[in-house]
């Protein structure tokens, strides 16, 4: 821990300053809608940071993370409704289930390259959605609601105010951001970058590419599952069309790509910008169906043409993902 602080002094200062601002800002908000937007920013930031491990660092573009998002949501919902369990426990069960499924499916899927892997993960998520649509135990197409006032609100993580949700979600955002920063300069992070740059070259110098891609996929799945659990408790109702549609997987990718893939705070920046644009355009232009999606498309074109490294490049133009040699990795 001391070594981490010494190496990342400037990051820690900026992190604490940003965290303090995020803690204080809601105290000046008097209406529920801006706080709702901030809660969604936290959810999308967690998902973006989770996807970033497999898509940003390892370069394996997954279009099926809605499956893990839905698993996290359903694990919490079923745990509360059928067993009276606390989400503080069931969210970690969801993480373990998602990581287990990622382990089983990732081993064969990660043998695929490029767009074949993207299509395979998309098919994986769609299969999961169809299963949940027809599975009566989880409510099928009607879904399940798990509103429970018979137990204390901190036990069920169901509050009448939005403030507790925001601060709980913000805690997880901060925790995962620190985890990302720690892994970013670790051997794990360097190996993933090497795999992304040239998998064959990485394998030729002794990096177990299959192992590290699978670990990144499992870590990514677990974090996205955690976001699903948190969102389910905020919504208190879930069905496959809410937590498992294809556009969820697309948006998870977009958050990281827009902010800056393979960077520490890129997904957070992407989540802030895209969530604000999405929610406010949807509220302002509610009479124009799909206008927010049109805005997304325009933004993607602009980013690809003028900011290929994402929005983070506006704040740090010197930032580059340097691929270290195996000797430099060992020195780290």
Quote the CA–CA distance of 54 and 42 in Å, as a whole number.
20
Region for residue 148 given its phi and psi (left: phi exceeds 0; alpha: psi -120 to 50; beta: otherwise): beta
Return the pLDDT at 5: 67
Each domain of the chain, given as residue ranges in start order, spans 32-331
Give me the mean pLDDT over the 236-259 stretch. Answer: 90
* 152-156, 216-220, 311-315, 317-321, range with greatest mean pLDDT: 216-220
Residues found in the chain: 332
Task: Check whether 330 has a pLDDT greater than 50.
Answer: no
Q: Supply the pTM of this predicted model.
A: 0.90
Q: Name the DSSP letter for residue 311.
A: G
Structure tokens, 1: 């821990």
Task: Check whether 144 has a pLDDT greater than 70.
Answer: yes
Return the pLDDT at 332: 45
């795999």: which residue's tokens? 195
| SS3 readout for 124-155 | HHHHHHHHHHCCHHHCHHHCEECCCCCCCHHH
| Residues 13-59 pLDDT 10s | 899 999 999 999 999 988 899 999 999 999 999 999 999 999 999 99
| Residues 260-281 pLDDT 10s | 889 999 999 999 988 988 888 8
% of the chain surpassing 90 pLDDT: 58
Q: How confident is the model at residue 310 (pLDDT cuts 50, 70, 90)?
A: confident
Return the pLDDT at 162: 93
CATH of 32-331, one of 1.10.150, 1.10.3470, 2.60.120, 1.25.10: 1.10.3470
């Amino acid at each position: 821990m001391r070594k981490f602080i010494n190496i990342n002094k400037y990051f820690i200062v900026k992190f604490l300053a940003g965290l303090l601002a995020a803690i204080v800002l809601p105290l000046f908000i008097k209406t529920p809608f801006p706080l709702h937007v901030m809660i969604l920013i936290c959810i999308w930031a967690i998902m973006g940071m989770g996807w970033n491990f497999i898509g940003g660092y390892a370069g394996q573009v997954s279009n099926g993370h809605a499956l893990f998002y839905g698993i996290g949501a359903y694990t919490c919902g079923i745990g509360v409704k059928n067993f009276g369990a606390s989400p503080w426990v069931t969210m970690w069960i969801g993480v373990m289930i998602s990581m287990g499924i990622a382990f089983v499916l990732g081993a064969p899927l990660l043998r695929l390259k490029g767009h074949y892997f993207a299509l395979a993960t998309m098919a994986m998520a769609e299969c999961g959605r169809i299963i949940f649509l027809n599975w009566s135990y989880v409510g099928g197409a009607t879904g399940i609601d798990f509103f429970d006032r018979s137990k204390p609100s901190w036990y069920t993580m169901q509050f009448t105010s939005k403030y507790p949700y925001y601060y709980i979600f913000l805690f997880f955002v901060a925790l995962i951001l620190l985890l990302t920063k720690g892994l970013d300069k670790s051997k794990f992070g360097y190996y993933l970058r090497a795999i992304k740059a040239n998998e064959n070259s990485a394998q030729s110098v002794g990096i177990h590419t299959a192992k590290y891609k699978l670990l990144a996929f499992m870590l990514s799945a677990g974090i996205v599952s955690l976001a699903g659990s948190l969102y389910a408790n905020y919504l208190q109702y879930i069905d496959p069309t809410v937590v498992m549609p294809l556009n969820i997987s697309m948006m998870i990718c977009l958050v990281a790509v827009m902010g800056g893939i393979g960077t520490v705070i890129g997904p957070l920046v992407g989540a802030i910008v895209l969530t604000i644009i999405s929610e406010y355009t949807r509220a302002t232009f509610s009479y124009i169906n799909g206008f927010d999606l049109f805005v997304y498309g325009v933004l993607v074109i602009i980013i690809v043409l003028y900011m290929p490294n994402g929005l983070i490049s506006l704040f740090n133009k010197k930032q580059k993902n340097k691929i270290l040699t195996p000797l430099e990795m060992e020195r780290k």
